[in-house]
Chain A
Amino acid sequence: MLALLFLCFIISFLSDVYGPIISDFRIADNFICRYGDDCKFLHVIPQQSQPSPFGFGTQTGTQFQRTNPQQQKPNPFGFGAQNNAQPREANDFGSRPNRFKPFENKWTRFSPLNTSSSSTLRQSDSQTPVPNHKCTDPESCKRQMIEDFENERPLWKLTCYGHNKNGPCDIVGDISYEELRALAYDEAKCGLSLQSIIDREKSLINSKLVEFQSLVQKPHAVSANASISTQNSVAGVSPNAPMTIQSGGPPPLSSFGQFGASVNSPGVFGAASKVLMSGANSALNVTKRIKLMNNTLSGNSNMDNSIWMKAEWKIGEIREEAPPDNCIY
């Protein structure tokens, strides 16, 4: 009985602070408060306008405030084991749906409050207890990948990708923007022309986009390649060994402009950069253009062929195997 009274009180207070309470809470049908209209608690019917806390009277108000500092555990150093991620009221009142399931992501982008509408998050945001994707069915892998690429293609294209969380990558050989930038700065310092730097970067992006395309078409063929390409991958990049990929035709337009090697001459490069195209939108166009490209890029597109292009080899760079055919003139 007392518990139900407290329930009313909690609902009212919370609804005032947090917004509409989850709609499918119901007070038991046979519950009749013996105080009737004189009850110091508000008899809240959910989904209606929010009652004001003043209806509680000072006694309750004080009680609540007294509770608050006790129960709140300010966690001095961040969070973790001490603070249960679930708010306790959910455990005490079983009929009230738990708004904070452990895996349920209730973030809303623009509001710090969790409202009941957060339960209608987008399909792609489902972190409810969905079991980790298991690669038993190539079709489901493919679907997962298509969904990822459709909804969540990152701005940065030279990324690795694993469709299975906590699983190994399906596409390896990612490059960070710092690496690309460092390479571009070094090349500019060595006197390479702006255009050749741009061309190299464009072909990198294009070949990575092609990798993503072929992954979706043949999800499990790539996982075999992944282990091979790990050895040949573009790892261990040093500025002296640029990772050019041999592409069949002229590189299509892409959103990647040049890197202004603005360290040396900001004026020159700054002006030049405005001429070149930029903007993320054209990256979407690249995907379409890739399909028109001739498919001379082999499966081993990760192989570092640029090493064969170098005029001079440093110690340790000398290869033991023969150069691939497309590097021989």
Chain B
Amino acid sequence: MAAAPQSTGRELSSPPTDGISNLRFSNHSDNLLVSSWDKSVRLYDASANALRGEFMHGGAVLDCCFHDDSSGFTACADHTVRRLVFNYSREDILGRHDAPVRCIEYSYATGQVITGSWDKTLKCWDPRGASGQERSLIGTYTQPERVYSLSLVGNRLVVATAGRHVNVYDLRNMNQPEQRRESSLKYQTRCVRCYPNGTGYALSSVEGRVAMEFFDLSEAGQSKKYAFKCHRKSEAGRDIVYPVNSIAFHPIYGTFATGGCDGYVNVWDGNNKKRLYQYPKYPTSIAALSFSRDGRLLAVASSYTYEEGDKPHEPDAIFVRSVNEVEVKPKPKLLPNPAT
């Protein structure tokens, strides 16, 4: 049933029956892949608001990603890494970790699947050919702590772990990290996302802050970095500080949206250091965000993330909203006429 789009966007029908861990738009269409704590991975056509397919796994699915428009990969709490082929409803296990697999990414640059797990390792997999760990595992790379978030851009991989560690890898040489860093925020890391232009990454934490970091370790490069507060509410003289769960970059403008446990989605212009827009509040915490490949749609997972333990909460829902240019386009900088 397609209700008229409200201020929150159109709500997708047949959402998962438990928390949503992540959602992703395809790079080729408006297909949306959604992973959930109800052990399912669902494929929606976001424009048509239709559920196209569903896979059930052995445990909560903590992350998912597309390969191409007809296949994808999932990271599961039952320690497995799976490949899914949507049209044929086929799935097989690519391999396993020793603990729940928390993040998964597919690298177009190297054709590899990269997974991060709470077993403190990163694994790279070759998804072609036969499955089974012996054939598909390319390498295992130990991390200082449990992996919480991963992001790829070009040949670079950024891994954020517990204990505020951040490792930056060059995918062409995974033997050791290109850079070992600590987060410049003070509390636990939630999410890390690379800038689409490949010059750095944004990192968010549980303390209502986002840090903008750069790969260039020179003085000039590091002088650009900064952090800002967001997703906080002032009450009785002090702040309620909400975790920032998700960051999503707009593919065209390079501005980015953040979603927090306060139920708000904000859009920021990192260059000009301004907030461009704040969407109306969603029913509960924002668990995940994703822009479509052309930036016209924003999928928002409004799904309580248990940051306050169990409490009565709104049902888990996915909203797909049309993005207006004014919400995401950086404002032009005003410059003087050159003197004639």
Contact = CB atoms under 8 A, between A and B. Distances in A.
Interface of A: 2-3, 6, 9-10, 13-14, 17, 63-64, 67-68, 71-72, 74-83, 85, 87-89, 92-93, 100, 102-103, 105-114, 125, 127, 148, 150-156, 158-163, 165-169, 172, 174-182, 185, 201, 230, 233, 235-239, 255-260, 262-263, 266, 269-270, 273-274, 276, 278-280
B186 A148 contact: yes
A160 B333 contact: no
Given A2-B339, A263-B60, 6 more contacts: A107-B275, A159-B188, A182-B100, A235-B145, A238-B119, A278-B311
Given A160-B187, A238-B118, A259 B306 contact: yes
Interface string B303-340: 00111111110000000000000000010111111111
A209 to B, nearest CB: 14
A154 B241 contact: yes
Contacts of A14: 334
Interface stretch (B108-116, B130-138, B221-229): B221-229
Contacts of B18: 262-263
Contact of A155 (B181, B308, B310): B308
Interface stretch (B1-9, B46-54, B81-89, B194-202): B194-202
Contacts of A160: 162-164, 187-188
Interface string B213-232: 01010000101101111101
A71 B334 CA distance: 8
B304 to A, nearest CB: 10
B206 A154 contact: yes
Nearest to B226: A103
B102 A178 contact: yes
B254 A13 contact: no
A75 B334 contact: no
A141 to B, nearest CB: 12
Contacts of A159: 187-188, 206-207
A210 B227 CA distance: 29
B164 A162 contact: yes
B90 interface: no
B277 interface: yes
Interface in B141-198: 145-146, 148, 162-164, 181-188, 190, 195-198
User: Could you say which of B60, B309, B334 has the most chain A C-beta atoms within 10 Å of its C-beta?
Assistant: B309
Given A154-B187, A235-B145, A185 B339 contact: no
A151 B273 contact: no
Interface residues of B, number: 95
A152 B239 contact: yes
Contacts of A259: 306, 309-310
B271 A75 contact: yes
A316 to B, nearest CB: 9
User: Could you say which of B145, B200, B229, B336 has the most chain A C-beta atoms within 10 Å of its C-beta?
Assistant: B336
B162 A235 contact: yes
Contact of A74 (B148, B200, B226, B330): B330
A102 B228 CA distance: 12
A165 B184 contact: yes
B337 A63 contact: yes
B186 A161 contact: yes
B249 interface: yes
Nearest to A82: B197
Nearest to B77: A182
B98 interface: yes
B74 to A, nearest CB: 15
Contacts of A262: 18
A237 B164 contact: no
Contact of A78 (B186, B254, B305): B254
Contacts of B253: 74-75, 78
Given A80-B197, A109-B232, A155-B308, A174 B188 contact: yes
A67 B336 contact: yes
Contacts of A180: 306
Contacts of B333: 71-72, 87-88
B255 to A, nearest CB: 8
B142 to A, nearest CB: 11
Contacts of A258: 309-310
25 contacts: A68-B332, A71-B333, A72-B333, A75-B253, A76-B197, A76-B252, A78-B196, A78-B253, A78-B254, A79-B254, A82-B197, A87-B334, A105-B228, A152-B208, A154-B208, A160-B162, A161-B186, A166-B184, A177-B305, A181-B37, A235-B162, A236-B99, A238-B98, A278-B308, A279-B311
Given A105-B226, A238-B119, A151 B335 contact: no
B80 interface: no
A107 B227 CA distance: 10
A168 B182 contact: yes
Lowest 3 A-B CB distances belong to which pairs? A78-B254, A80-B199, A278-B311
A48 B234 CA distance: 31
Given A80-B214, A88-B335, A182-B77, A155 B330 contact: no
